[in-house]
Amino acid sequence: MAKSDKSRRAGTPGADPPRAEDHFEGDYRPPLQEHALVPEPNPHIRVEPLQVEFLHRLADALNTTLDVNTLMHKVADLVRAVIDYRIFAILLLNDRTNELRMRFQSGHTPEIERLRIKIGHGVVGQAALQRRSLLIEDVSTFPQYIDANPNVKSELAVPLIMKNKVIGVLDLQSEQPGFFTTEHRRLLELTASRMSTAIENARLYTRVSRQAETLSVLNDISREITSILDPDDLLERIGQLLKRVIDFQMFTILLWNEREEQFEHRFSSRYGERIAKVRTVQLGQGLIGVAAEERIPILAPDVRKDSRYIAENPETRSELSVPLIYKGKVIGVMDLEHTRVNYYNEEHQRTLSTLAAQVAISIANARLYQRIHEEEQRMERDLEMARQVQLRLLPGCPPKLERAEIAARFLPARSIGGDVYDFLDYGNGRVALAVGDVSGKAAPAALYAALVSGILRSLAPQRLSAGALLAALNDQLQERKLASQYVTMLIAVWDDSVQTLQIANAGSVQPLYVTADAASLTNAIDVRTIPVEGFPLGLFPNVMYEERTLTTRPGDMVVFFSDGIVDANDSRGEMFGSERLSTLLQHHPTATDSAMAAVEAILDAVSLFQAGTEHFDDETVLVLRVL
């Protein structure tokens, strides 16, 4: 003691009697009456033990706070008001380790404060074991006494019991033998009985508050990780966010490889730094493998005492492994490690298990996104290949003729369509022009277009008429029939010697015939649709196609185009249409000057009409102009 216990004890012989004007906090003395006789004070109690008043003040103190630390400070102040202690401690019991640890103390050294006292050891351990208060007038006579402070001579320990369960111990020590009395014992027992309930209420409040905070954090974490779709970024972020609810020194995520039938390391952090390592774990191997095999969390308070533990980090003392389960299948394991024994507890286990469910969903979503992304990249490569196939089907340049010129342009859409055109040389100035559109999009359309183009060229040596060529092509496609696949096509056979054009149509857009109006004094342009129709190729067997022959004059033009021209949409969803195309050919200043001028005028007008709107169909224009 800083002062002798004797000098602190009130009412020692020779001391001045208390005066009415003397007052201090915690003084429970009744007011002195004038001329009243002063009773002989108890040699070990500062004031008369007014237990009722003390209990009232104790109740007020305990009922005004739910914070454990504040509660202990208030109890210490109240006890000091009636027992003039110098060394005081409140110890609480750790249920997992069955050890008493100081939660509040006054007068102890830091070394003593850090002590962990087993049940049955020392005065406080015996008080907890025997579940009754112990008043030791001379600690040297107590067999189980722990001589942590050689100056201590006497001790008073009272267990804190709640619902027939010891939760801690109140402990007072003195440097004077026989300092504590039965009155002290009774007051401390009264304090302990009320304090046990208050501590449990405060602990419950703290636990509920912590759980509410944890749930809020888990909600924030869940919301954030569900927005991350890159697997590597997701795993790293999980490690960062997990620190907000559970402290760890080593963190690992392993994911299940179905092909290899083992868990493979995907992410690790060690003391806050990401580390790269190669590690595999078999099902049932170590704590991680057991957690996955049994599909339950595995908590190892001291890995040195757990036969299932496989030493990966030599400094590890406690470990917590939780399986990641998605749709009834274990897809991985989260593993936390710490260098302190008994660091992780059941609350950590519950928290990590709650988070593991959301982590499993996020990992599954990220892996699904990764597969979809890889599939999209593969499809993009396939589409690019299909574009190349489509372009290779088109002829390099139109044939050169003496009495006609031919121009053609093809603009592929973003997604592969099935437009195809070709020139078949019949010899002796005769050329078959083919303009087609295969049903569907993407690679299937491009492949079907390749089939159509190949058959078409194989029929060229037969030099068939327009209708007969379509019928033969349809028969060939019937032999190679594919469900839901067909092609629309126009065939026009030009005879350069007589300037005639024989046309047959298999479901394609009807071509336009552009001529100078002979009845007009201003050489006005006349645009007419060539009325020729027929069934698309590949749908029905034994189809015959009608033919129509045009006798042309110099300056006449025949415009063939795919539906991508007339079906082009602007930003308002309006289509370009056949009427707008006819008006363009009638009034454009240079459209009739040459075949290429007509092609360019049409494509420029359609592009301007769409004004940046994405093209969803191929655009093909082929023009024959008579010279």
- Contact, 414 vs 614, CB < 8 A? yes
Average pLDDT over residues 343-357: 89
Band the pLDDT of 274: cuts 50, 70, 90. Answer: confident
Q: How far apart are the C-alpha atoms of 455 and 471, rounded to whole Å? A: 12
pLDDT digits (tens, 9 = 90+) for 383-393: 777 777 777 77
pLDDT digits (tens, 9 = 90+) for 73-125: 888 888 888 888 889 999 999 887 889 999 999 999 999 999 999 999 999 99
3-state secondary structure of 188: helix
Average pLDDT over residues 528-536: 94
Q: What percent of the chain has pLDDT over 90?
A: 52
Band the pLDDT of 604: cuts 50, 70, 90. Answer: very high
Residue 545 is encoded by which pair of tokens? Answer: 């196609």
Q: Are residues 360 and 457 in the same domain?
A: no
- Contact, 512 vs 585, CB < 8 A? yes
- Contact, 100 vs 168, CB < 8 A? yes
Average pLDDT over residues 257-275: 90
Q: Are residues 404 and 365 in the same domain?
A: no
Q: Which of 8-12, 367-371, 449-453, 523-527 has the lowest mean pLDDT?
A: 8-12
Q: How far apart are the C-alpha atoms of 291 and 293, rounded to whole Å? A: 6
Q: Are residues 445 and 345 in the same domain?
A: no
C-alpha gyration radius of the chain: 48
Q: How far apart are the C-alpha atoms of 563 and 581, rounded to whole Å? A: 12
pLDDT digits (tens, 9 = 90+) for 139-174: 999 999 999 899 999 999 999 999 889 999 999 999
Residue 384 lies in a domain: no
- Contact, 586 vs 520, CB < 8 A? no
Average pLDDT over residues 525-537: 94
The predicted structure's pLDDT at residue 7: 39
Last residue within a domain, chosen from 336, 370, 404? 370
Average pLDDT over residues 551-566: 94
Q: Are residues 610 and 480 in the same domain?
A: yes
Q: Are residues 305 and 405 in the same domain?
A: no
The predicted structure's pLDDT at residue 117: 94
The predicted structure's pLDDT at residue 40: 53
**Which of 198-202, 241-245, 249-253, 354-358 shows the highest mean pLDDT?**
249-253
Q: Which of 199-213, 333-347, 604-618 has the lowest mean pLDDT?
A: 199-213
Q: Which of 333-347, 363-377, 576-590 has the lowest mean pLDDT?
A: 363-377
Q: Are residues 581 and 493 in the same domain?
A: yes
Residue 222 lies in a domain: no
Residue 3 lies in a domain: no
Q: How many CA atoms lie within 13 A of 545 on its CB side?
A: 34
Residue 22 lies in a domain: no
- DSSP for 574-623, please give it: -B-HHHHHHHHHHH-SSTTT-HHHHHHHHHHHHHHHHTTPPP-S-EEEEE
Q: Are residues 286 and 404 in the same domain?
A: no
More confident residue, 611 or 316: 316
Helix or strand (DSSP H, E) at 118: strand 116-118
Which of 413, 420, 411, 408 is CA-nearest to residue 447?
A: 420
List the CATH number of the domain containing 538: 3.60.40.10
Q: How far apart are the C-alpha atoms of 623 and 584, rounded to whole Å? A: 14
Q: Given the DSSP bridges, would you call strands 619-626 and 404-411 parallel, antiparallel or unpaired?
A: antiparallel
Band the pLDDT of 510: cuts 50, 70, 90. Answer: very high
Residue 63 lies in a domain: yes
Band the pLDDT of 15: cuts 50, 70, 90. Answer: very low
Band the pLDDT of 500: cuts 50, 70, 90. Answer: very high
Length of the chain measured in residues: 627
The predicted structure's pLDDT at residue 521: 59
Category of 427 on φ-ψ map: left (φ > 0), alpha (ψ -120 to 50) or beta: left
Helix or strand (DSSP H, E) at 264: strand 262-270
Q: Are residues 336 and 467 in the same domain?
A: no
- Contact, 522 vs 563, CB < 8 A? no
Mean of all residue pLDDT scores within the chain: 85
The domain of 488 spans 394-626
The predicted structure's pLDDT at residue 199: 85
The predicted structure's pLDDT at residue 171: 95
Q: Are residues 445 and 582 in the same domain?
A: yes
Q: Are residues 307 and 238 in the same domain?
A: yes
Q: Are residues 237 and 202 in the same domain?
A: no
Residue 45: φ, ψ to 5°: -125, 135
Q: Which ranges constitute the DSSP H helices of 250-312?
A: 286-294
pLDDT digits (tens, 9 = 90+) for 481-491: 887 789 999 99
Residue 20 is encoded by which pair of tokens? Answer: 């009415």
Residue 444 lies in a domain: yes
The predicted structure's pLDDT at residue 520: 61
**Which of 3-7, 258-262, 443-447, 559-563 shows the highest mean pLDDT?**
559-563
3-state secondary structure of 251: strand
- DSSP for 398-458, please give it: PPP-SSEEEEEEEE--SS---EEEEEEEEETTEEEEEEEEESS-HHHHHHHHHHHHHHHHH
Q: Are residues 142 and 85 in the same domain?
A: yes
List the CATH number of the domain containing 100: 3.30.450.40
Distance of CA 534 to the CA centre of its chain: 56
The predicted structure's pLDDT at residue 337: 94
| Domains: count for the chain | 3
Last residue within a domain, chosen from 206, 241, 276? 206
Average pLDDT over residues 416-426: 86
The predicted structure's pLDDT at residue 20: 42
Residue 220 lies in a domain: no
pLDDT digits (tens, 9 = 90+) for 26-63: 333 444 444 444 445 554 444 444 466 776 777 777 77
Does residue 132 have a pLDDT over 90? yes
Q: How far apart are the C-alpha atoms of 576 and 570, rounded to whole Å? A: 8
Cβ contacts of 86 within 8 Å, gap of 6 or more:
1, 2, 5, 8, 106, 107, 173, 174, 175
Last residue within a domain, chosen from 337, 370, 403? 370
Q: Given the DSSP bridges, would you call strands 134-136 and 154-162 parallel, antiparallel or unpaired?
A: antiparallel
Residue 309 lies in a domain: yes
Category of 567 on φ-ψ map: left (φ > 0), alpha (ψ -120 to 50) or beta: alpha
The predicted structure's pLDDT at residue 417: 64
Q: How many CA atoms lie within 13 A of 67 on its CB side?
A: 4
Q: How many other CB atoms are found less than 10 A from the CB of residue 426?
A: 16
